[in-house]
Amino acid sequence: MRAGAFAFGAALAALVAAPASAQLSEPEQAIAASIESDLETDVNLLEKITLINSGSHNHAGVKAVADALAPEFEALGFTTEWIDQAAAGRAGHLFARHEGVPGTTRMLLIGHLDTVFEPDSSFTGFVRDGDRATGPGVVDDKGGIVVILSALRAMKAAGTLQNANIVVALTGDEEDAGDPLELARKDLVESGQWADIALGFEGLSILDGKDTGVVARRSSGGWTITARSRSGHSSGIFAEGVGYGAIYEMARILDAFRRELPEENLTYNVGLLAGGTPAEIAGDELSASASGKTNIIPSTAFARGDLRTLTREQNDRIMAAMRGIVSRHLPGTEAEIEFDFPYPPMAPTAGNEALLERLNAVNADLGLEVMAPYPPSRRGAADISFVADHVDAIDGMGPSGSGSHAEGEYIDLRSIVRQAQRAAILMSRLANEPR
């Protein structure tokens, strides 16, 4: 990651003590004030959509959330479109488009309608306790959607939305992308090719008690290794013409991964392992069965894991290294590896860091602390990664909270205010700039 972002942050640190709104224009001051005063409206909307179950596989529920949100965007002058995704095995996406002044910055705002909590989940409801609320998806990502609408509503009231060219893309399958992936992300990628910048409204990343900016995220992919060997009586193992067996071959491969591959921003977990005579992976690839005897050389072994990288170059290089390791067969064995990458990396770029500097200028004018870049190894993949090759991007523009993907997920409701203020003022400034 470029050191300039950190140097810039240090230079701005002296501005943190400045009075709030010291450098805000009159419309920007109006934006900050209206977002503050509209918090209860935002919380009410968050409760409304949280109470609608929208697990990725609950197609009716995902569509119901979209139907609840579409009028909110239309009231702000957006045209909305429901993009059906039945062909990809998912509900669909809600896109909202606002046409502003031609030739000015085009902005793509990304969130998602679905959650990991399907209708059979025991985690339901919306419970508020002061400035904290608990419920399925309140942070990931229904809170992010509320931040988007809060920012746009304030821009509309202040008169800064009218010139803005904005597409809001709310996918319906971020938690479990449809298949084929090319179809499931076609409209998002096309919007990324149209846009100049992208803002992702996944949850805010906080490090050591300080808000940070996400200028990079790692990929999310998987691999499967199949090892095979001659079987026979265990008394002949290691002998010429017999060999080492499939399990020793698999152990060799995995240990070589452990010893030879480590580098910064790379992880490669082994999540499933089975071996025997025979061994089989289930059709859902989430379980395996195996049988065997201690006096039989195992004929088959399987291993599945994930692979997370920061750049496409790192991704390609590590895959090549893994293939090389797999190809060094022990006597009497053979093995192969297959890769699957549903989410590409969002690599750190100078453009992303420059966009964070623009956001830090907003922070200074709001009297907020400088946001340093968040370590990419601490965040997983997200939909913004699909457009990262086409635009300058920042993620983590949603609210703060904790417990995403688990019972007890909660949101800091006050964080809606500062995140919406940041986003609205940044977009207002960009809206009048040439592409």
Confidence at 167, pLDDT banded by 50, 70, 90: very high
How large is the average pLDDT for residues 272-281? 94
Confidence at 22, pLDDT banded by 50, 70, 90: low
Domain containing residue 84: 4-217+346-431
In the three-class reduction of DSSP (H, G, I as helix; E, B as strand; rest coil), residue 320 is classed as helix
Residues 418 and 31: beta-carbon distance below 8 Å: no
Same domain, 30 and 147: yes
Q: What is the pLDDT of residues 89-100, one digit of tens each?
A: 999 999 999 999
Distance CA 107, CA 391 (A): 9
Tally of residues, the chain:
435
Q: What is the pLDDT of residues 297-309, one digit of tens each?
A: 999 999 999 999 9
CATH number of the domain to which 113 belongs: 3.40.630.10
How large is the average pLDDT for residues 61-90? 98
Same domain, 75 and 185: yes
* Per-residue DSSP letter, 172: S
Q: In Å, how far are 233, 234, 237, 330 from 294, measured between CA atoms?
A: 9, 7, 12, 20
Residue 16: per-residue pLDDT: 37
* Residue of 11 and 26 predicted with greater confidence: 26
Q: What is the pLDDT of residues 348-359, one digit of tens each?
A: 999 999 999 999
Give the type of residue at 127.
V
* Per-residue DSSP letter, 235: G
CATH number of the domain to which 289 belongs: 3.30.70.360
DSSP-assigned letters across all residues of 193-206: HH-SEEEE-SPPEE
Domain boundary among 343, 377, 408: 343
Same domain, 209 and 224: no
Same domain, 154 and 110: yes
Same domain, 103 and 118: yes
Same domain, 189 and 292: no
What the block records as the tokens of 378 is 């601490």
Domain boundary among 317, 343, 369: 343
Domain boundary among 277, 308, 343: 343
Same domain, 204 and 230: no
Residue 284: per-residue pLDDT: 83
Same domain, 38 and 147: yes
Distance CA 67, CA 231 (A): 59
pLDDT at 11 over 60: no
Give the type of residue at 234.
S
Q: How many domains does the chain have?
A: 2
Q: What are 353's strand-pairing partners? A: none
Least confident of 78-82, 108-112, 264-268, 340-344: 340-344
Same domain, 385 and 410: yes
10 Å CB burial of residue 316 (0-12, 13-18, 19+) is exposed
Q: What pTM was computed for the model?
A: 0.89
Same domain, 49 and 34: yes
Same domain, 103 and 13: yes
Same domain, 212 and 224: no
